[in-house]
Structure 1
């Protein structure tokens, strides 16, 4: 199991789609399907199920493994940040969740300032209702 495979499984969870996950990671949908099949074969269990009626969903074991994969990626990011800090660089990911009014009025200027001051930061903006933002924080 490598970092790219772990990122792929997490991205599938976040996008809810093999195709969208592939686009985010610059992979074709068939390549994503093959990679998932390889991961599942390596682990010896099914992580994701797909059907036309319900779309895709994670199995029970897939959900539990997904939590671990997210933690692994978080810890690997921390390693990268420690190494970058040792070199005098500021890097990392900032995920901003906000409702539409904030996204259009305030966030663009804040993001521009952050990117100018800290070019090593990756900023991801998600727009949703207050309830959606609360749910994102919980999950």
Structure 2
């Protein structure tokens, strides 16, 4: 298993599509299908269920492996960041998930401030419901979640 294969599986989960994941990674859809088949063969288990009617979804083991794959990619990113810091550079990626009001009201100002202070840091914003943001945090799809605090 290599970094490219791990990135492919994570990208498929993020896009919900072999075709879209392939486009983002500059791969054809047949190449993505072959790569996924090879990964599943190597691991000895199915990760992704394909259904023409309902699209694709991850198996239970696929969901658990996906969490680990995200952790692996995060740790590899930390290695890149450590090397860059040693060279005097600030780099990295921060994926923020937030509910609609936050995305339109105060997150843009925060992002502008971060981009001006840390131009080497890539910021990705995903908008969803509070429940979606909580799920993204649980599955480690995002690094930071902005949600409405509970009443309690």
* TM-score for the superposition, normalised by structure 1: 0.86
Work out the CA distance in 2 between the residues paired with 1:42 and 1:132. Answer: 32
Counterparts of 1:19 and 1:130 in 2: how far apart (Å)?
A: 28
Task: Quote the residue 2:24 is aligned against.
Answer: 24
- What is the deviation of 1:9? 0.5
Deviates more, 1:71-80 or 1:36-45: 36-45
Query: For residues 104-138 of structure 1, what are the alpha-carbon distances to aligned partners after superposition, in whole Å with 9 as ceiling and x for unaligned?
Result: 23222321221222121110001122232222223
Query: What is the match of residue 76 of structure 2?
Result: 76
The 1:61–1:97 alpha-carbon spacing in structure 2 relative to 1, beyond 3 Å, is closer
Distance 1:77 1:106, change over 3 A: same
Give the corresponding residue for 1:39: 39
Distance 1:15 1:42 in 2: 23
- The structure whose residues are more often helix, as a share, is 1
Task: Name whichever of 37-46 and 79-88 sits farther off.
Answer: 37-46
Long gaps (5+) in structure 2: 140-152
Return closer, same or farther for 1:62/1:130 CA change in 2, 3 Å cut-off.
closer
3-state secondary structure, aligned to 1:110: helix
Q: Are 1:88 and 2:88 counterparts?
A: yes
TM-score (norm 2): 0.80
For residue 57 of structure 1, give the secondary structure of its aligned residue in structure 2: strand
| Residues 5-28 of structure 1: per-residue CA shift (max 9 Å, x gap) | 100001112222112222332322
Cα separation, 2, equivalents of 1:107 and 1:23: 28
The residue aligned with 2:117 is 117
Deviates more, 1:73-82 or 1:26-35: 26-35
Total equivalences in the alignment: 139
Q: Pick which of 52-61 and 114-123 moved more.
A: 52-61
Q: Which of structure 1's runs of 4+ aligned residues deviate more than 3 A?
A: none
Query: SS of 1:93's equivalent?
Result: strand
Change beyond 3 A, Cα 1:63–1:82? same
Which 10-residue stretch deviates more, 5-14 or 104-113?
104-113
Instruction: Name the residue aligned to 1:7.
Output: 7
